[in-house]
Chain A
Amino acid sequence: MGAPKKVASARVSEDPDDLARNPLQAILLADSFTTKFRPITLERPKVLLPLVNVPMINYTLAWLESAEVEEVFVFCCAHSRQVIEYLQSSEWFTRPNFVSTIESHNSISAGDALRLIYERQVIHGDFVLISGDTVSNMSLTCALQEHRERKKKDSNAIMTMVIKQSKASMITHQSRLGTDELFMAIDPCTKQLLYYEDKVDKLKGTISLDKMLLADNPSICLHSDKQDCYIDICSPEVLSLFTDNFDYQHLRRHFVKGLLVDDIMGYKIFTHEIHSSYAARIDNFRSYDTVSKDIIQRWTYPFVPDVKFCQNNTTMLERQGMYRASEVSLSRSAEIGPFTVIGTGTKIGNNTKISYSVIGEGCTIGSNVLIEGSYVWNNVTIEDACELRRAIVCDGVMMKSRAVLKPGAVLSFKVVIGQQFFVPAYSKVSLYQQPIKQDSDEELEADNSSGTVELSSITGTADKLNGEVTSEVSETPHWSTSEVGTGGLGYIWSISEGGLEEEWRHSVAPIPTDKIAEVTQAIDDDLELSTQDCNGLSPSGDLKFDSNINDSEDDDNEDSRDDSIYFEKEVEATFLRAVHENIEINDVVLEINSLRLSYNMTAADCSGAVFYSMVKLALETPHSSEGELLNNAKTVITTWRELLKFYLPETDEEIEVILKFEEMCLESTKEFSSLFSRILFLLYDKEILQEEAILKWADEKEGADESDKVFVRQSEELIQ
């Protein structure tokens, strides 16, 4: 395909049939459609947040360029103006036709975005679908070639997903990127994706694979050790599929699952595993931390601080993974630890210790400050003796002296923390008040008079913010005694009840040991749960045996038992209808016969069920004494004799009726137990039951337990 710069102008290929000759395009979603980076993303879009002092989107664009993508469509939604302005001023726009932007104000999901792009008709061939927060250095050549070859052979192979080895922690069940564990089933030969489960239901201890899957594939590889890189190579069909299925929102949860589960048109998704190259998406604060460290430790080479891959300032790599930009003024007594990046124009005071951190440009850091594992963005002022551990501090923040940030704290833009104030762990501080509900930002909307409310953030908020907030802020009197210490500015966002669980999982701070212990304990219970869940066998329960041996057989029995119960109910209902509406016996027979067929029952079942309904009717007809009950039974039996008779072609069925009656007398309709012999005689008298059947029944019962013989004895007289 040659150097991208040369071919870039040849956008429309001469031969549209030849897919390979279409220039490689990419769709970059500059909006993640989530709220994980709030409150920061209320003011600035995620793709523009600095990652080791370079806005994230630059990593993605630089990678796309290196991967020989010729045309990138940047889809902007939230804060679209900021993104567009940034791109227009960046060097990406100096390259003709490389980056073009698509703006939308009302898309709320990736699905909406792709539908919009489809309408624009800008995609002509295979494209790379990626979000603007992805850092990678993989080569697309191999994956792309695989994709094209598959597509040639099988036009249904419309997508190739890039995956990477990464085992989720056994204890927290999340990957080092802070994402939930992911279960995938892949065909080991063709690499076809067969199953995808990322939103794991924690209570379910098992994965259920459809049996058809196994019938079709002799071998399936089930993975819990792979990570989805969210880099997809798609064929144009993907876009039209999104348009056809207008309810698809989420790329994975709806689109991938939809394709796998619903098996739409037989479309297939394949996977491409990368081994030595890097690919990761920044999805939450934890992955922000992880990816930053990976960049500092050069896993993402050539996209590292000391290589100029966009307009980032040159940085020198020193010993122990320390990067120092130009014009840094560092006190002699300051200690800069390993794996630390310090941006241009930053001043650092005496005896300050910084390690495993990233300090942005133009920061002023006082004396005796401790910064550990933190991310300090641009133009931040940190006064003397502050302590920052595992925190994120956004642009323009001011920390007054002796303020302390506990692990996991996030300070959004221009927040001021008062003297000696302790910001508790995992708290988020912003100049904005926390929206009451996830998507009702009305307050904010009114404040800023910005047009659209987005799921992730508010368009245009920050555009105004830069200029206005400071003045607005100073006007607000109550902030002098604010939540963040004397002289502080900002609101501490409360952590919702259920949110706390998420907080420690997704925070920049490492997971505290007590949490780990707690979760480890939970795993054991979990394991027990799953053992039980799997086959109902309690691990220790010697007593529980009866209830759970041979789960499968039980199930089957239950099924058939259920069936016969339903059947009985249906027959009863039919019978009652016949009684109340005076339906002809022949019609009732017809109905019962159809029931019998649909439930797959025998003639004996029918006779049992019909008799059951008759006795039930007799019982439910009001009566005050046994005699009346007997009379009721007599009337019912006489009236419906023909119906019952119809289902008693042979002795076997007659015996079934007696057995059924016996069972009823013991269980459901005990009232009849004393009348057993009399009703039996009645049935005999009405020629419903023959002598032979009664004698056979008595014979059968001969060998039974004493308790079973109650009724035989009762009717001994009759038998003789």
Chain B
Amino acid sequence: MDFQVVVLAGGNSKKLVPLVSKEVPKALLPVANRPVLSYVLEQLEASNLKDVIVVVEGQESALLVGPWISSAYVDRLHVEVAAVPEDVGTAGALRAIAPHLTAKDILVVSGDLVSDVPIGAVAAAHRRNDAVLTAMLCSSPVSGPSDSGSSSGKDKTKKSGHYNIIGLDPSKQFLLYIAAGADVEKDTRIQKSILRSVGQMEIRSDLMDAHMYAFKRSVLQQVLDRKDMFLSLKQDVLPYLVRSQLKSEILLNGATQAEESGNEKANSQKNHVLLSEILANASLPSFHELALGPYGSGHVRRTHKCCVYIASGSKYCARLNSIQAFMDINRDVIGEANRLSGYSLSAHNNIIHPSAELGSKTTVGPHCMLGEGSQMGDKCSVKRSVIGRHCRIGSNVKVVNSVVMNHVTIGDGCSVQGSVICSNGQLQERAILRDCQVGAGFVVTAGSEYKGESLARKEK
């Protein structure tokens, strides 16, 4: 398939401090002891999409991500790592790497996506509909904000604000409206002209934009070139394309395509015809054609199609874009969505590396993971947590609902609940942490007690 994949792996997201640092960019944050980026790359490999450009914000992050990819995916994927300046936005990142984009269609995936939605299916849907844009949508994670049960009504409205507001046609194939960013909080304003031509639009607020888009390359580049103020794919490019779909300003079969060999074009058209014959759905004229109306033939109004691929509800789909999401995803990947982790569960429903050592009377509950070479003392208890490689954990330690990264030392009698402890962190005896984040290399002194704090070394 003539698809080029761009993985936007980000840099040091401020939202994830102190989990990310100069040493650990967002792309390398561990999810069940694997960098989060590997989940996307593995999905790409499974879908046979091997031409990948990983875009990383900042030269330093690129220097960390690059070597990891080349060591892990040598011979498996053809990956280039490109560094772009920070704060150029997603659209800016694509603009920066535009010269490298050559394929007919571009698939843009966010590097923090942890999902088992077949990426190939999104690409196929894009081709099938001959769309300029296909967005992957999935149901909002049910596990989402875990404590939403107790939250009041006010929180409820706030929560829904984080989701997207999406308008679909009755066949759920076309994207007719999308509100992103600040627009979500406002009243929804639907263009009448689009509604008129479709007749019926379903507005959903329970779908999440998974930040996986397929674009027609020529269109994407035109938009990026012409609208040089567009910063974000989601907030600028997407709404723009959706809004103008009945009055397209994009040269679909214009100069750019004409340059390509006529042979290829003829082929693709033939393919399209074949496909549409096969697919009963596609043989119905879409509203885009109908919109022109019987009288519209005199002058040609260009249209383009914006499509969606809606993942089935059974698929897992989440983005690692907050500390809460980091913890949720870690928990899910060894729990309900363990098919993603690539490990097989033991009889106790957990994953313990053979080289890990457990003291006597130490219990590791279900939905836990214990990394290679980690040691645990006596009478410890681990529940619904991930513990990284080569950690040294003393006796009488309780770890619940937490993520402990690699090379962490936890002293005797510590209690860790709902917290994240980054690599090389150290907890001295009897430290008690609840809902805390401990940055890389930070030392929590003996006997101290923290609740809901972010602990990290001061960055110089």
Which residues does A use to contact B, with CB under 8 Å?
Answer: 167-168, 170-171, 173, 181, 183, 185, 188, 200, 204-215, 217-225, 516-517, 520, 523-524, 526-528, 530-531, 534-535, 537, 539-540, 542, 545-546, 549-550, 552-553, 555-556
Contact = CB atoms under 8 A, between A and B. Distances in A.
B205 interface: yes
B325 interface: no
30 contacts: A168-B196, A170-B196, A181-B196, A188-B202, A200-B192, A206-B192, A207-B195, A208-B188, A208-B190, A209-B188, A209-B190, A210-B188, A211-B187, A214-B203, A220-B202, A221-B200, A222-B190, A223-B199, A224-B192, A225-B200, A524-B247, A530-B192, A531-B191, A534-B191, A535-B239, A540-B249, A549-B236, A550-B231, A550-B236, A552-B182
Interface stretch (B20-28, B290-298, B326-334, B365-373): B290-298
B160 interface: yes
A257 to B, nearest CB: 16
Given A222-B167, A550-B235, A206 B202 contact: no
B45 interface: no
Contacts, number: 140
B361 interface: no
B201 A545 contact: no
Contact of A537 (B165, B243, B295): B243
Q: Sort A-B residue pairs by CB-CB distance and give the 8 closest, nearest first.
A: A225-B199, A218-B206, A552-B182, A206-B189, A549-B229, A209-B188, A222-B201, A220-B203
Nearest to A202: B192
B226 A219 contact: no
A212 B205 CA distance: 11
A219 B203 contact: yes
B193 A526 contact: yes
Contacts of B167: 222
Contacts of B203: 185, 209, 214, 219-222
B295 A205 contact: no
Contact of A218 (B197, B199, B205, B230): B205
A671 B201 CA distance: 60
Given A215-B156, A537-B240, A528 B247 contact: yes
Given A219-B202, A517-B295, A542-B226, A206 B249 contact: no
A171 to B, nearest CB: 6
Interface string B202-239: 11111000000000000000000011111100011001
Contacts of B240: 535, 537
Contacts of A204: 192
Nearest to A207: B190
Given A171-B293, A215-B157, A221 B201 contact: yes
Contacts of A516: 295
B246 interface: yes
B205 A215 contact: yes
Interface string B69-109: 00000000000000000000000000000000000000000
Contacts of A531: 191, 243-244, 247
A246 B200 CA distance: 35
Contacts of B182: 552-553, 555-556
Contact of A208 (B161, B189, B205, B246): B189
A535 B247 contact: no
B199 A539 contact: no
B165 to A, nearest CB: 6
A603 B228 CA distance: 38
Contact of B165 (A170, A206, A214): A214
Most buried by B among A167, A205, A534, A555: A534
Contacts of B189: 206-209, 534
A555 to B, nearest CB: 8
B458 interface: no
A305 B192 CA distance: 40
A319 B158 CA distance: 66
Q: How large is the interface on B (under 10, 10 to 19, 20 to 34, 35 or more residues)?
A: 35 or more
A387 to B, nearest CB: 28
Nearest to B190: A207
A669 B42 CA distance: 64
Contact of B196 (A173, A217, A546, A555): A173
A208 B187 contact: yes
Given A209-B187, A215-B156, A215-B160, A530 B295 contact: no
Tell me whether chain A's interface is mostly helix, strand or loop, or mixed. Answer: mixed
B244 A539 contact: yes
A218 B192 contact: no
A218 B157 CA distance: 12
Tell me whether chain B's interface is mostly helix, strand or loop, or mixed. Answer: mixed
Given A206-B191, A209-B203, A221-B200, 16 more contacts: A168-B196, A183-B192, A200-B192, A205-B191, A207-B189, A207-B195, A214-B165, A214-B203, A217-B205, A220-B202, A222-B200, A224-B195, A523-B193, A530-B192, A539-B249, A550-B229
Contacts of B247: 524, 527-528, 531, 539
B449 interface: no
A375 B199 CA distance: 33
Contacts of A526: 193
A545 B229 contact: yes
Contacts of A218: 204-206
Interface in B167-202: 167, 181-183, 185-193, 195-202
Nearest to B158: A215
B206 to A, nearest CB: 4
A188 B205 CA distance: 13
B301 interface: yes
Contacts of B246: 527
A542 B230 CA distance: 12
A516 B293 CA distance: 12
Contacts of B186: 211, 552
A204 to B, nearest CB: 8
Nearest to B287: A170
Contacts of B156: 215
Contacts of A168: 196
A698 to B, nearest CB: 28
A507 B206 CA distance: 45
Contacts of B295: 171, 516-517, 520
A222 B231 CA distance: 31
A205 B204 contact: no
Interface in B251-306: 290-291, 293, 295-296, 301
Contacts of B195: 183, 207, 222, 224
Contacts of A520: 293, 295-296
B155 to A, nearest CB: 11
A205 B192 contact: yes
B222 to A, nearest CB: 12
A710 B383 CA distance: 66
Nearest to B194: A530
A208 B167 CA distance: 13
B395 to A, nearest CB: 49
A523 B197 CA distance: 12
B295 to A, nearest CB: 5
B356 to A, nearest CB: 43
Given A540-B249, A549-B229, A553-B182, A530 B196 contact: no
Nearest to A545: B229
A170 B200 contact: no
B174 to A, nearest CB: 14
Contact of A214 (B188, B200, B228): B188
Contacts of B227: 545
Contacts of B197: 170
A524 B301 contact: yes
Contacts of A545: 227-229
A392 B65 CA distance: 80
A534 B235 CA distance: 14
Contacts of A181: 196
Contacts of A553: 182
Contacts of B192: 183, 200, 204-207, 224, 530
Contacts of A211: 185-188
Contact of A224 (B165, B200, B228, B239): B200
